[in-house]
Amino acid sequence: MSRAILYNILVQFWIRCKVLVSITVVGSPAFSHPLLDISPLLDKCDDLNMDKDQRVREVVTLLDQACKEAGFFYVKGHRISDSLIKKARDVTRNFFDLPFEEKVKIKLSSATGFRGYQRLAENITEGRPDNHEAIDYYREVTAGMYGSLGKTMEGTNPWPEYPSDFRQLMEEYVSQLKDLSRNIMRGIALALGGPADAFEGERAGYPFWVMRLIGYPGSSQAEDEMQDNVIGCGAHTDYGLLTLVNQDSEITALQVKNKSGEWIDVLPVEGTFVCNIGDMLKILSNGIYQPTLHRVINTSPEYRVSVAFFYETNFDAPVEPMPFCVERTGGTAKYGAVIYGEHLVSKVLTNFVV
């Protein structure tokens, strides 16, 4: 039986489950990536007493397991249309297909608050250039909005002239992903034993967000032959609370490092988002949830696109272990307070060749 046929059979079985499923794919070790139907959570997302609903409690239990055991999970039932998900990828691909001279019209620089286009190898992970091109967008920061803390990130998002529908589509995408992320975080708050709105107000009531549109060139090399300079994105954890990845539906390239130290493929599952937790959630949960190292290696000969949305705390929020998480972990805070904006700026200033 071919890998493609086996994969399709297993995915159809997997989609019918709300539990952790171990899938063995030919040529890959066994792995467990939870697939969660979050529709019951979204049905009650505006009710701060949603934890009294049995179906919500079931989703919350699965979220807790996923965050503890994997740090990565898929979500379906998210109510973002398949059409919008696909259009976000398509318009990204259409932009990267443009001539270089057109793309650099929205070039990233310190003057834009590090927003805009980066050509191949301009993004740096752990001191090494990544084999991808990208556009970075952030919540816009006006002059003086956060004082000296926000100076580096001050700026507006540069939008390309082509494709003509790029800005309108992406602004709608960001709007819907912000709402979805907030609602998933309400479920995670309940999973940690706190109130549903624990990640709102002074912590994340005005959440910062980041969106990266990424293009990975194809390769003729097998993974075990690859040199460092052709790794699409080096191993890293994400900076904030929650990441939602809209990955290419045809190409497997995203990999997660499991607890045994093995790199495991995160297979594309059409109609889902891949979610992973970030550094700020580790601190807020007092280590109950740990971010997982991940990387991208595109061994396919085809060009791959990915649209990653990062949902963060308030930019100026002092991020420290939440009291109910400290209580749950023995009464001692394991981490000191971190200002999210300082954490982000420290990364941004070392991430690019500009």
Q: Where do the domains of the chain lie, and which CATH numbers do they carry?
A: 6-352 (2.60.120.330)
pTM, two decimals, is 0.89
Question: Digits of tens for pLDDT over the chain (354 positions)?
Answer: 555 444 444 443 443 343 333 333 323 333 458 999 999 999 999 898 999 999 999 999 999 999 999 999 999 999 999 999 999 999 999 999 999 999 999 999 999 999 999 999 898 887 888 999 999 999 999 999 999 999 999 999 999 999 999 999 999 999 999 999 999 999 999 999 999 999 999 999 999 999 999 999 998 644 444 455 468 898 899 999 999 999 999 999 999 999 889 999 999 999 999 999 999 999 999 999 999 999 999 989 999 999 999 999 999 999 999 999 999 999 999 999 999 999 999 999 988 765
Altogether, the residues listed in the chain come to a count of: 354
Pair 184, 199: CB distance under 8 Å: no
Provide the strand spans (E) within 79-206. Answer: 116-118, 124-125, 128-129, 133-138
Residues contacting residue 185 through CB under 8 Å, at least 6 positions apart: 199, 204, 241, 242, 311
